[in-house]
Every structure is written in structure tokens, then in C-alpha cells.
């Protein structure tokens, strides 16, 4: 996720726990419904997965907007003046609750006369505002690093606060980008792990995808070389194209004097000052402002390649060309909502790097690859040079989202995001509306400290973890159930939104908002119940290496899943002698 792309456990070991969000944006002529799409995942092992609606307000003259420090672990924010989600009342009832004091601001800027409503997350990012301006996030490595004002530096802003303020104050993607860039240039920008020499460059940059129903953009930002400002650039995505960002900058040549580019006033001067660019050259943002060491390129670019393979196959993009991927890819065919949902659930199935295949997936085709960690005889040297692949869908996603912006819709309907929790491949995203006074308890409660039966995150976590115990057997059983539930809910959502639009056109806006609020609560409750019921169903059907059938019959049927021959051969079961472990000592089957 943003802040925490790779947290080194100790400098001496040089080992990493990788986070790393994925985000994408699609132009309006590249979709089946003529809307822009912003989508993404937030991937971390210890994040605050709660969602919050922040109500728009009119402000008194002379008011200020508080700026808070970067924090993504629970509780992301403790404050009474922003959203119920961040209030003291909404904290988990745990012994340490009294230790979570109100968050102290680190800075403030003048407040505007009026701010707009938005939905934001415990990861710190704004998702969408009432005008359908939406954002997705992905941390990227960068050349320059700077400290925040609360830790001996000059920078006041990180990407979360910038995204929130932009959604509070703007009605278009272009204006949102200009505002974020201006604030960062004026007050400075900092990334996560700025004090960690091993990780500060991997965490220094950020990318946002931004869209508003008309235009789609990719925005990049890094600290500048003085520690007091920022370097930023944004490129418009052509209407018939899409862009994917996966923890690596994607903007290449920066074109001057073009309506399709926005950038900071210092972008060329800083590059020239450091000998990274000459006036007669084209400025390549990736090469000039990207990280000094691009050792995470494979971790990042396979996700970009996969989207290109699925949505732009005519290009014939190869994984070996990863250094030269373009910013944008042309969509060979119109991309649907279902296509976006499928991409978020993807593990490279059917491709040359299908994560459900091979010995790494275990005997039952598990696509998850856990983060490398020393222990059980593994040293830093064993792990430093070797990494598993990762996909867009992964086990430590805390949430994912899809936002579709259509300017033909009333803003009460258009300001909507579909938000799901835990790994997308076994989860379901529920509709949330910015016009709501409150969000359902299922999305505003819960933490990593303890299981919460009301939380959508925990319902999806239960189901997902059991599915991955025997993935090749359980996932095909579960997905038709999920697809059927989703189809029914999203079909109903379309009808409800049509009804709400009619009410708004008839001057009955309050009735429309009440309708949308009531349905989002109903859908959240139903989704949590479905996930929990499905979990109970698969536990009773798949357990202890057995599959139970005929639940309505006089007696159940039972068969063993056992291990496939291919996997047994791969681990040497049929070799002679085959080593086994007994009482921590290796012995062969013959010796037994």
C-alpha cells in the first residue's frame, strides 16, 4: 500500500515485508458504458481497513484546515471533527482504547468557504467525492527523499492528505491534480520510511490515478532536492486507453506546452541541476525521478503486463520488455465493469506465470505467495536474491474498490464507490454513496486487533482463508455462488439508482438519498451474511482433507482430495529413497 511498499525488518538483514498497492484508470471511450473507471487494491498486513464518509461543510471566514501526520495502522485517525469513523466512540472496545488519544495536527492551511463530501479510508486516501472525482493510489520508488516538519524536516504533506484536500475542494480531475501539485510545491512533500536508509527511496514517491467521468489522468509526485518542495507530473490518459500503476512510475516523456500534461515549475531545472537531463533531450520521468535502484521492477511490472495481455492483446507485450512499457495502453475492445472486477481478482490464470500452477502453489494450487521472512533455518542470504511473483489479488489486501464516474447521472448517484475487503478473489464489493449521512457499520468498524462479527473485512477474511486451504477444489465451488450473489445485487443496484435518479429529477432529492442510504445498509448486511454463510457451507463440505457431498441425502458421501501425482513427483515422493521428517530428523522411507 502506499506507505509500506517494502518494510525492511532490520537493516542488517535487509529482508522485506512487501506491501504494494495496484491502481488503474480507464478512459471513457474505452469502456462499455462510456464512464471513466478508477480502481485499485490496498495491500498491507496491518492497516486500518475502515471506510469513512466526510460531509461537506460551509466554513467561517478565517477557518483553517488541519493537516495530520502520516499514519495507516489502527487507528489511522482519532478526531471528532471529520467523520464518525474516526471518532473516539467508534474505537474498538479494547484495553488499550484509552491510549488512543486524539491525533495532533502537524500543520494547517487556510480553509475554503465550502468543502465537498467524500469517502476516504483508514489507509489515509480519499476515494471519491460528491462530484464523482475518484482517485486510486500506488507507492513508487523515487530519487529524492525529505523529512516531514514533525521530524526535523520541512515537508507538511504526504499523499493521503493531498488526496483528501483535493476531493474536498475540486469538481474535476484536472483541478484536483493542480491543487495537489500546488500545495506540495508550496509546503513540501514527504513519503513513508524517510528515516530508514534501506527503504526511504522505495517509499519516497507516489502515484495516483484520477478521473471524473470526462478525463482520466495519472499523477506522480516525489520530494524535491531541497527538502522544502516537491516535483510532480501528470499525464492525461487518452479516452480510448487505460493505464495501470503497480509501485513503479509509468510516465515517460514529459511533453511541454501540452493540454495532456501538467507538471511542477521545477521539474526541468532540478533534472538539469543534477545532470539528469539536458535541454535538447526529452525528459523521461521514470528515468530521471524514479528510484536509484530499480530492484523492484519485476515485483511491479508483471501486474502491468497482465492488464495489457488481457485488454490490449494486439500489442503483444512481453514481460521481457518491462523497462519500456508505455504510460497508456489502447483498449482493443470496450472494457466492462465485469472485466475490471475480474482483473482485481486475477492471479495470472492461464498465462505463462499462472500462480495456481507449479510446485510453489503447493498440492492444491494456492496462488498466494507469502512474504519472505527469516526463520526455520533460512538466512538473509538465502532470501535476498529470491522472490516469488505477486498478482493483483493477494492475501494481504485490506480493501479494494471500483469507482465508475458518469457525468450524465445526478451527483447523488454518480458519487458512489464499490468497496470490498480482504483478497478480491473471494470477496464482494458493496456500493457506498457519498451523499450518505453515515456508512454501514459493516464498513466503519473493526481492526486487526480482534475478530469482529459485524465487519465485512472479517467475514471476507474467514472465507478467503478457508478457500485457500484447498484452492483448486474450493475456489471453483465458491465462485458460482459469489457470481450469482454479485449479479443479483448489482442488478438491483442499477434499478435502485435509476429510481433515485427519477426522484431527483422530480425534485425529491431527500427521498432519493434516503433510498440509497437504506439500500447500501441492506446490501452491506446481506453481503456480510452471505460471506459468513458461505464460509459455514465450505467448512462443512471441505475439511480434514475430505470432500463431503449429498447433504440432503440419507447419508453423506465422502472422498479424499489427497495430493496430485504431479506434485508428489515434484517433491520426490517416487524417488528412492524419499526423505521424510520424523522428530526433526530426516529419515528415508526405506529406513522406516
Identify the weakest region by mean pLDDT among 190-204, 496-510, 541-555: 190-204
Model confidence at 2, in pLDDT bands (50, 70, 90)? very low
**Structural element, H or E, at residue 54:** strand 51-54
Q: Is the peptide bond before 577 cis (omega within 30 degrees of 0)?
A: yes
Q: Is the pLDDT of residue 261 over 70?
A: yes
Cα–Cα distance, 158 to 135 (Å, whole number)? 15
Looking at residue 576, its pLDDT comes to 73
287's CB contacts (< 8 A; 6+ apart) are 276
The burial of 127, by beta-carbon neighbours within 10 Å (0-12 exposed, 13-18 middle, 19 or more buried), is given as buried
Question: What is the percentage of the chain residues whose pLDDT exceeds 70?
Answer: 94
Give the three-state DSSP class for 577: coil
* pLDDT higher than 80, residue 591: no
On the question of pLDDT at 4 being above 50, the answer is no
Give the residue with greater pLDDT, 299 vs 36: 36
Q: What is the pLDDT of residue 521?
A: 98
The rounded distance, in Å, linking the Cα atoms of 293 and 290 is 9
Torsion of CA 305, 306, 309, 315, to 10 degrees: -10
Predicted confidence (pLDDT) at residue 583 exceeds the cutoff of 60: no
What is the average per-residue pLDDT within 128-149? 96
Give the pLDDT of residue 592. Answer: 37
Confidence grade of residue 193 (pLDDT, cut at 50, 70, 90): confident
Quickly list DSSP for 225-280.
Answer: SSSSSEEEEEEEEPTTEEEEESSS----BPPTT-TTEEE-TTHHHHHHHTTS--TT
For residue 581, what pLDDT band results from cuts at 50, 70 and 90?
low
pLDDT in tens, 413-447: 999 999 999 999 999 999 999 999 999 999 999 99
**Residue 463 in contact with residue 444, Cβ under 8 Å?**
no
Find the mean pLDDT for residues 292-308: 87
pLDDT digit string, tens, across residues 458-510: 999 999 999 999 999 999 999 999 999 999 999 999 999 999 999 999 999 99
CB 323 within 8 A of CB 535: no
554 CB-near residues (< 8 Å, 6+ apart): none
Query: Does the structure show a pLDDT above 90 at 448?
Result: yes
**Exposed, middle or buried, 91 (CB in 10 Å: 0-12/13-18/19+)?**
middle
Cα(362)–Cα(364) distance, rounded to whole angstroms?
A: 6
H-type helices in 282-410, by residue range? 285-289, 297-311, 337-344, 380-384
**What is the per-residue pLDDT for 582?**
57
Distance between CA atoms of residues 581 and 478, nearest Å: 34
What are the CA-CA distances from residue 203 to residues 142, 145, 165, 400 (Å)?
7, 9, 21, 21
Average confidence (pLDDT) over 176-187: 98
Residues 255 and 174: their CA atoms lie apart, in Å, by: 16
pLDDT at 200 over 90: no
CA pair distance 20, 22, nearest whole angstrom: 7
Quick one: CA torsion of 337, 342, 343, 345, rounded to 10 degrees?
Answer: 130
The strand pairing partners of 120, in sequence order, are 52, 126
The contacts of residue 57 (CB under 8 Å, 6+ apart) are 114, 115
User: Which residues, including other chains, have CB under 8 Å from residue 330's CB and lie 6 or more apart?
Assistant: 30, 238, 240, 241, 312, 315
Q: How many CB atoms lie within 10 A of CB 385?
A: 6
Where are the domains positioned within the chain?
6-408, 409-543, 562-588
Which has more pLDDT, 74 or 585?
74
pLDDT digits (tens, 9 = 90+) for 77-96: 999 999 999 999 999 999 99
Q: Does pLDDT of 517 surpass 90?
A: yes
Q: What angle do CA 107, 58, 187 make, to 5 degrees?
A: 25
Among 117, 124, 120, 105, CA closest to 47: 124
Average pLDDT over residues 556-585: 82
Higher-confidence position of 295 and 2? 295
The 3-state secondary structure of 135-173 reads EEEEEECCCCCCCEHHHCCCECECHHHHHHHHHHHCCCH
Instruction: Kindly indicate the confidence band of residue 11, based on its pLDDT and cuts at 50, 70 and 90.
Output: very low
> Given a cut of 90, is residue 374 above it in pLDDT?
no
450, burial (CB in 10 Å: exposed 0-12, middle 13-18, buried 19+): exposed
Whole-number mean pLDDT of the chain?
Answer: 92
Reported as a single tens digit per residue, the pLDDT across 205-253 is 999 999 999 999 999 999 999 999 999 999 999 999 999 999 999 999 9
What one-character DSSP code corresponds to residue 46? S
Burial (CB < 10 A; 0-12, 13-18, 19+), residue 525, is middle
Do you find a cis peptide bond into 207, omega within 30 degrees of 0?
no
Give the separation between CA 556 and CA 573, rounded to whole angstroms: 32
Helices (H), 404-470: 411-414, 441-444, 456-467
Residue of 310, 298, 231, 243 whose CA lies nearest to 37: 243
Amino acid at each position: 500500500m502506499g506507505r509500506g511498499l517494502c518494510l525492511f525488518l532490520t537493516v542488517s538483514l535487509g529482508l522485506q515485508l512487501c506491501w504494494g498497492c495496484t491502481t488503474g484508470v480507464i478512459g471513457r471511450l474505452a469502456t462499455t458504458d462510456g464512464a471513466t473507471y478508477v480502481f485499485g487494491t490496498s495491500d498491507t498486513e496491518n492497516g486500518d481497513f475502515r471506510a469513512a464518509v466526510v460531509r461537506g461543510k460551509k466554513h467561517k471566514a478565517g477557518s483553517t484546515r488541519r493537516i495530520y501526520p502520516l499514519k495507516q495502522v489502527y487507528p489511522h485517525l482519532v478526531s471528532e471533527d471529520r467523520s464518525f469513523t474516526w471518532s473516539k466512540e467508534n474505537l474498538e472496545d479494547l484495553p488499550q482504547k484509552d491510549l488512543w488519544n486524539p491525533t495532533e495536527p502537524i500543520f494547517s492551511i487556510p480553509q475554503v468557504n465550502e468543502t465537498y463530501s467524500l469517502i476516504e479510508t483508514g489507509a489515509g486516501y480519499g476515494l471519491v467525492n460528491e462530484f464523482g472525482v475518484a482517485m486510486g493510489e500506488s507507492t513508487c520508488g523515487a530519487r529524492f527523499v525529505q523529512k516531514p516538519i514533525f521530524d526535523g524536516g520541512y515537508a507538511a504533506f504526504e499523499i493521503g492528505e493531498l488526496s483528501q484536500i483535493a476531493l474536498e475542494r475540486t469538481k474535476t480531475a484536472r483541478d484536483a491534480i493542480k491543487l495537489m501539485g500546488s500545495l506540495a510545491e508550496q509546503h513540501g512533500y514527504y513519503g513513508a520510511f524517510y528515516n530508514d536508509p534501506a527503504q526511504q527511496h522505495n517509499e519516497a514517491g507516489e502515484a495516483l490515478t484520477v478521473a471524473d467521468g470526462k478525463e482520466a489522468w495519472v499523477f506522480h509526485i516525489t520530494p524535491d532536492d531541497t527538502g522544502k518542495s516537491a516535483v510532480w507530473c501528470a499525464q492525461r490518459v487518452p479516452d480510448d486507453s487505460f493505464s495501470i500503476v503497480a509501485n513503479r512510475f509509468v510516465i515517460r516523456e514529459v511533453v511541454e506546452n501540452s493540454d495532456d500534461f501538467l507538471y511542477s515549475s521545477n521539474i526541468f531545472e532540478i533534472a538539469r541541476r543534477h545532470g539528469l537531463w539536458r535541454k535538447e533531450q526529452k525528459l523521461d520521468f521514470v528515468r530521471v525521478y524514479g528510484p536509484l535502484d530499480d530492484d523492484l521492477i519485476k515485483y511491479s511490472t508483471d501486474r502491468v503486463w497482465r492488464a495489457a495481455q488481457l485488454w490490449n492483446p494486439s500489442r503483444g507485450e512481453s514481460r521481457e520488455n518491462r523497462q519500456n512499457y508505455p504510460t497508456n495502453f489502447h483498449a482493443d475492445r470496450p472494457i466492462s465493469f465485469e472485466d475490471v472486477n475480474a482483473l482485481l481478482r486475477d492471479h495470472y490464470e492461464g498465462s505463462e506465470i499462472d500462480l495456481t500452477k507449479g510446485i510453489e502453489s503447493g498440492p492444491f494450487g494456492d496462488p498466494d505467495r507469502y512474504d519472505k521472512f527469516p526463520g526455520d533455518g533460512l538466512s538473509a542470504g538465502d532470501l535476498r536474491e529470491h522472490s516469488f511473483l505477486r498478482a493483483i489479488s493477494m492475501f494481504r489486501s485490506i480493501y479494494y474498490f471500483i469507482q465508475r464516474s458518469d457525468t450524465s447521472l445526478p451527483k447523488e448517484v454518480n458519487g458512489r464507490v464499490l468497496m470490498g475487503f480482504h483478497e478480491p478473489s473471494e470477496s464482494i464489493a458493496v456500493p457506498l454513496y457519498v451523499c450518505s449521512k453515515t456508512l454501514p457499520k459493516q464498513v466503519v468498524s473493526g481492526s486487526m486487533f480482534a475478530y469482529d462479527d459485524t465487519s465485512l473485512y472479517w467475514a471476507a477474511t474467514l472465507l478467503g482463508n478457508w478457500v485457500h486451504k484447498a484452492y483448486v477444489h474450493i475456489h471453483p465451488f465458491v465462485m458460482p455462488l459469489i457470481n450469482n450473489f454479485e449479479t443479483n445485487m448489482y442488478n438491483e443496484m442499477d434499478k435502485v439508482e435509476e429510481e433515485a435518479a427519477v426522484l431527483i429529477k422530480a425534485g425529491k432529492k431527500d427521498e432519493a438519498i434516503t433510498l440509497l442510504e437504506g439500500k447500501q445498509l441492506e446490501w452491506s448486511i446481506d453481503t456480510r451474511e452471505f460471506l459468513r454463510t458461505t464460509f459455514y457451507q465450505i467448512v462443512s463440505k471441505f475439511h480434514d482433507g475430505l470432500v463431503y457431498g449429498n447433504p440432503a441425502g440419507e447419508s453423506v458421501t465422502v472422498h479424499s482430495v489427497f495430493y496430485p501425482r504431479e506434485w508428489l513427483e515434484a517433491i520426490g515422493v517416487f524417488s528412492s529413497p524419499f526423505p521424510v521428517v520424523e522428530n526433526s530428523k530426516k529419515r528415508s522411507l526405506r529406513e522406516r
